[in-house]
């Protein structure tokens, strides 16, 4: 029997996609191998969020190619998928000549067969892509415009999971709060390309312009209520929630629905309003503070985690100190602190110079990581 091996980099969305790629292989009669050395086909599911993530995929591919060359063995078929595919075929084959095939990310369908390792907890994707215009981020380019998975498809998957004995699920999307509310339109890259000149920061639309305002109960809250109707489902988690569209009714739902996990991942990215504006996150520090106040008031046992980027272009010592002070004030229980990595093609890459030296980024990273992750919780929602 032919064997497949999948190497996954990046976030939970990628891990979830890999479960579906595995499902496809098994449907075609392949079996999984734990060693890439004896695979007939190797899939590399890539991440492009930072240069280090891309380097890791390239390093892995280099090791694979070298191994087979040194052994004098026939190289297995190598398939590249994931967020690096946005570079386009030509560049990918040039960067990584050992690749045999490129699997476009959108071809990993929501509803294909899934092979899950865990028998109790399951990842369930509820949307693909991202409609937000955070200036530093490659995701809207690599995964395209946001597309919510229809309610009936999500519920059908949950029903299937219940029958298989699952009791915990995590709903996945780049911005789950606005599930079902994304507008059609053009992405930031197309918007920039349409201009004869470069777009200025002021011309980049707010994230809120890319979604409908919910009328009544937000669809995401309705989805949580529908899933909660299954007695067999005991724990529901979701990532990621953005601060700008965290609806009051979502807070109420968490407060009154004991099935929803008390850990909320709420990325702040920076504690400086100037940097938040340059990032186009669509909220201020004050807005975030008020949201956390409400969450803690209505859900006394809530635990909040965050993501922060240090060394964003133009982040002064003062801006950074504001983030440090805010971290002390917020007392997040865990946080993923990242050093800014310019992603070619993104708005921040076009608009700003990567001014903060590597050494300084690292210094800022160490300070913040120490403050936030002092309790050293091992459960991190996503580690890239």
Which chain residues interact with ligand F3S by CB under 6 A? 10-11, 13-14, 47-49, 82-83, 138-139, 142-143, 384
Instruction: Name the minimum Å distance from CB 113 to ligand SF4.
Output: 27
Q: Is 340 in the site for ligand SAH (CB under 6 A)?
A: yes
Q: CB-wise, 233 or 241, nearer to ligand SF4? A: 241
Q: Is 13 in the site for ligand SAH (CB under 6 A)?
A: no
Separation CA 82–CA 63 (nearest Å):
19
Q: Is 270 in the site for ligand SF4 (CB under 6 A)?
A: no
Separation CA 15–CA 83 (nearest Å):
12
Q: CB-wise, 45 or 272, nearer to ligand F3S? A: 45
210 closest CA partner among 234, 188, 226: 188
Angle among Cα 320, 321, 323 to the nearest 5 degrees reads 65
Return the one option of ligand F3S, ligand SF4, ligand SAH, none that residue 14 interacts with (CB less than 5 to 8 A, by type): ligand F3S
Return the one option of ligand SAH, ligand SF4, ligand F3S, none that residue 140 interacts with (CB less than 5 to 8 A, by type): ligand SF4
Separation CA 83–CA 122 (nearest Å):
22
Separation CA 222–CA 28 (nearest Å):
37
Look at residue 40 and give its three-state secondary structure: coil
Return the one option of ligand SF4, ligand F3S, ligand SAH, none that residue 356 interacts with (CB less than 5 to 8 A, by type): none
The secondary element (H helix, E strand) that includes residue 147 is: strand 147-148
Q: Is 309 in the site for ligand SAH (CB under 6 A)?
A: yes
Q: Encode 150-172 in three state secondary structure.
A: CHHHHHHHHHHHHHCCCCEEEEE
255 closest CA partner among 304, 221, 302, 217: 302
Instruction: Name the minimum Å distance from CB 175 to ligand SAH.
Output: 6
Separation CA 192–CA 211 (nearest Å):
20
Indicate which single residue of 20, 87, 230, 343 sits in contact with ligand SAH (rule: CB under 6 A). Answer: 343
For ligand SAH, the binding residues in 267-286 under the rule CB under 6 A are 267, 269
What are the backbone angles phi and psi of residue 204, rounded to the nearest 5°? -80, 125
Nearest residue to ligand F3S by CB is: 10
Return the one option of ligand SF4, ligand F3S, ligand SAH, none that residue 50 interacts with (CB less than 5 to 8 A, by type): ligand SAH
Return the one option of ligand F3S, ligand SF4, ligand SAH, none that residue 266 interacts with (CB less than 5 to 8 A, by type): none
Indicate which single residue of 57, 84, 137, 368 sits in contact with ligand SF4 (rule: CB under 6 A). Answer: 137
Binding-site size for ligand SF4 (CB under 6 A) equals 9
Return the one option of ligand F3S, ligand SF4, ligand SAH, none that residue 22 interacts with (CB less than 5 to 8 A, by type): none
Indicate which single residue of 174, 177, 272, 280 sits in contact with ligand SAH (rule: CB under 6 A). Answer: 174
List % helix, strand, coil for the chain (3-state, nearest 5).
Answer: 45, 15, 40
Beta bridge partners of 32: 4
- With tokens 């109960």, the residue in question is 217
Q: How far is CA 17 from CA 10, 11, 23, 322, 361, in A?
A: 11, 10, 10, 37, 32
Instruction: Name the minimum Å distance from CB 208 to ligand SF4.
Output: 12
Q: Stretches 71-79, 250-258, 336-344, 354-362: which one binds ligand SAH (CB under 6 A)?
A: 336-344
Separation CA 359–CA 194 (nearest Å):
37
Q: Is 337 in the site for ligand SF4 (CB under 6 A)?
A: no
Q: Is 323 in the site for ligand SF4 (CB under 6 A)?
A: no
Look at residue 307 and give its three-state secondary structure: strand
Q: Stretches 78-86, 102-110, 128-136, 282-290: which one binds ligand SF4 (CB under 6 A)?
A: 128-136
Look at residue 306 and give its three-state secondary structure: strand
Q: How many helices (H) and strands (E) does the chain have?
A: 13, 13
Binding-site size for ligand SAH (CB under 6 A) equals 17
178 closest CA partner among 132, 144, 139: 132
Return the one option of ligand F3S, ligand SAH, ligand SF4, none that residue 83 interacts with (CB less than 5 to 8 A, by type): ligand F3S
Separation CA 30–CA 47 (nearest Å):
25
For ligand SAH, the binding residues in 64-123 under the rule CB under 6 A are none
Binding positions for ligand SAH, rule: CB under 6 A: 49-50, 136-137, 139, 174-175, 240, 242, 267, 269, 307, 309, 338, 340-341, 343
């Amino acid at each position: 029997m032919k064997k497949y091996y999948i190497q996954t980099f990046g976030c939970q969305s990628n891990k979830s996609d890999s479960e579906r790629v595995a499902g496809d292989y098994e449907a075609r009669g392949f079996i999984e191998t734990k060693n890439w050395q004896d695979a007939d086909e190797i899939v590399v599911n890539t991440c492009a969020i930072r240069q280090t993530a891309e380097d890791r995929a390239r390093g892995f591919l280099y090791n694979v190619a070298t191994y087979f060359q040194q052994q004098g063995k026939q190289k297995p078929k190598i398939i590249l998928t994931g967020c690096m595919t946005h570079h386009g075929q030509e560049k990918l084959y040039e960067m990584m000549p050992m690749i045999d095939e490129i699997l476009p990310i959108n071809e990993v369908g929501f509803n294909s067969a899934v092979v899950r390792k865990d028998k109790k907890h399951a990842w369930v994707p509820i949307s693909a892509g991202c409609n937000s215009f955070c200036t530093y981020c490659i995701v809207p380019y690599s995964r395209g415009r946001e597309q919510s998975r229809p309610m009936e498809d999500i519920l059908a998957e949950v029903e299937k999971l219940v029958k298989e004995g699952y009791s915990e699920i995590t709903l996945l999307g780049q911005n789950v709060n606005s599930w079902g509310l994304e507008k059609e339109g053009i992405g930031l890259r197309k918007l920039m390309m349409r201009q004869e000149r470069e777009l200025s920061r002021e011309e980049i639309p707010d994230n809120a312009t890319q979604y409908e305002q919910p009328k009544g109960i937000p669809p995401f809250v309705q989805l949580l209520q529908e899933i909660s109707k299954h007695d067999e489902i005991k724990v529901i988690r979701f990532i990621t929630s953005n601060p700008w569209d965290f609806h009051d009714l979502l807070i109420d739902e968490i407060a009154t629905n004991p099935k929803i996990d008390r850990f909320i991942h709420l990325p702040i990215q920076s504690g400086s309003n100037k940097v938040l504006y340059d990032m186009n996150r669509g909220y201020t520090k004050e807005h975030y503070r008020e949201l956390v106040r409400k969450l803690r008031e209505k859900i006394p046992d809530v635990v909040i985690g965050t993501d922060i980027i240090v060394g964003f272009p133009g982040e002064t010592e003062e801006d950074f100190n504001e983030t440090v002070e805010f971290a002390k004030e917020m007392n997040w229980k865990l946080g993923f602190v990242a050093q800014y990595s310019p992603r070619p093609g993104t708005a921040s890459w076009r608009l700003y110079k990567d001014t903060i030296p590597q050494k300084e980024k690292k210094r800022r990273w160490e300070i913040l990581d120490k403050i936030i992750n002092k309790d050293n919780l091992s459960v991190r929602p996503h580690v890239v």
